[in-house]
Every structure is written in structure tokens, then in C-alpha cells.
Amino acid sequence: MRHSKLIDRFCENRERILWCTGGIASLTVILLSCTTTTTRTILAPPSIPGATYVGSSECATCHEDITRDFPTATHARLKAPGENAKDAGCESCHGPGSLHVTSGGGAHTIVNPGKSPNACFQCHLEVRSRFELPYHHPVLEGKMGCSSCHNPHKGSAVKGGETSGMQSVVGGGTALLSQNETCFQCHTDKRGPFVFEHEALREGCVVCHSPHGSVNQRMLNERNQTLCLKCHFQQQTVPGQIFIADVDHSNFLQRGTCWSAGCHEEVHGSQVSGALRF
């Protein structure tokens, strides 16, 4: 008799119990999702075993020239204001510096992004993936570093001239020299001046090239003549003929790329050919 009453009571309250259980489970899921998910990437500064943070003021003791110019740097804009971030400056990229300070500047007691790009990749995740593409600058191979083209401590993060070519190539912005100067440090043969120049150079090397990496040879933004046709407008005024710069290119486009078909081999500029043929 008692057993049957318990069963009847349970059946009467079963729906209420299920609703309460489901509500508690849903509330738990919501609370966990609010505390464990985020819409942005969470980044952590580099770590050095046994080291603690000492603040950027300690760095200024030896690196006065760098800390003096750092407020002008693009990276300085990333520093969060307030008491919680007052010591998060140099060490956000170089790791905690206590061991570096006590050792008098020991080379292996601090993270040096100039020798390893991993510190940069903590924030620039998309760049890390580009260096995995088939054609890229040899950063992962250790033959050059991010600082070969970028200056994190002064001016624009992308190197590219101040006011004189005689000065070190750092920070660009509205300076007189273009960001091409960064590329010309290594690719000196592309600097010119040329009697017949390719106007694309005025807009910058990145108009045609992806410096971090590309699926195309020579780190080009587009494959083959598709790259050229983005700027060099084509007209089809006569059936079967494609005119570019008033010249029928119908047969030329079938030979391969514009710069390897014996037509425009000196795409960066030429001293003797207005068509940049040689």
C-alpha cells in the first residue's frame, strides 16, 4: 500500500522534477559558456622559467635609446592604460626580465624576437600560417627574421624610410621614402632608376607580391597573367581578339606569363625597352 502511494506521488511530480532538472542543467551550461568562451584570441606573453616581471623602467637603465623612442612606435598603441598594465611593456614581447637584470644582461635570460619569430607569432597568428605556404621569405628557416623588415621599437612597424636615404631605414608613415625601401635593402637590382619604369612600383611592391608567403611563385598575389590583367585593362572589340594597350594579345596570352613569354621580361623596369621587354 505504501509502495503504491510512493509510485503515485512520484508520477504526479515527475513532470515537475524533469522541468527542474532541465532548468538546472541549462543554467549550468549558460554559466560555463559565459566564463569559458570568448570572441577573441587570448594571448599570453612569453615565459622564462624562474623569471618574474620587473617593469619597463628597469629596461630603460640599459636600453635608454629604445625606451625613449618607443612611444612613437606602432606597437606602443597596443599598450593598455591603467595600473594593471603599467609594467606590461617591453616584457610583453621579451618575457619577464628579472633574470636578465640580475645577470647583467645575459643573452640567454631574455626572449629575443630578432632571432626567433615565435614571439611575434603569438599575436600575428595569420602571418605564421602564411610562412607555411610554398613560397615565402626564409623566416622559419632562420635565414632572416621579422626585424629584417619590421621595426617594433620606433615609428611605423613596417620599415620604409624617414626623411633621408642616408638614415637607417625605419618607420614610414607620411615620410618621403616609400615602404619599397625595405625591399630594396636586399633586392637592390629592382631599385632603379629606370628609363622606362613600371608604374606599379610607385604603389609599392606589395601590389604584386605577398611578402609573408603565397601559393604562387615569386610570392605573387595572383597566378600568371591574371596578376597583370588586374591593372592592364583588356578589351574585346573584335570577335576572337583581345586588345591590351591597342595591341592584339590573343596569341600572346597563350604562351604563358607576361614576363616569361619573351614579351615583358623586365617587369620592374628597363633602360632600353618601353615595353619592358629586356
Mind listing the pLDDT tens digit for each residue in 104-136? Answer: 988 889 998 888 898 899 888 889 999 999 999
| Domain residue limits, the chain | 51-111
Q: How far is CA 53 from CA 44, 109, 111, 146, 188, in A?
A: 13, 13, 13, 25, 42
Q: Indicate whether 170 pLDDT > 60.
A: no
pTM above 0.85, yes or no: no
Residue 202 has what pLDDT? Answer: 83
Residue 163 has what pLDDT? Answer: 34
User: What secondary structure does DSSP assign to 177-200, as a single string?
Assistant: S-THHHHHTT-GGGS---SEE-TH
Distance CA 98, CA 107 (A): 13
Q: Indicate whether 7 pLDDT > 60.
A: no
Q: Residues 136-159: what's their mean pLDDT?
A: 87
- Mean of all residue pLDDT scores within the chain: 78
pLDDT over 90 percentage in the chain: 18
For β-strands 269-270 and 243-244, DSSP reports them as: unpaired
Strand partners, 265: none
Q: Indicate whether 87 pLDDT > 50.
A: yes
Where does the pLDDT of residue 169 fall: very low under 50, low under 70, confident under 90, or very high at 90 and above?
very low
Distance CA 260, CA 264 (A): 7
Strand partners, 248: 243
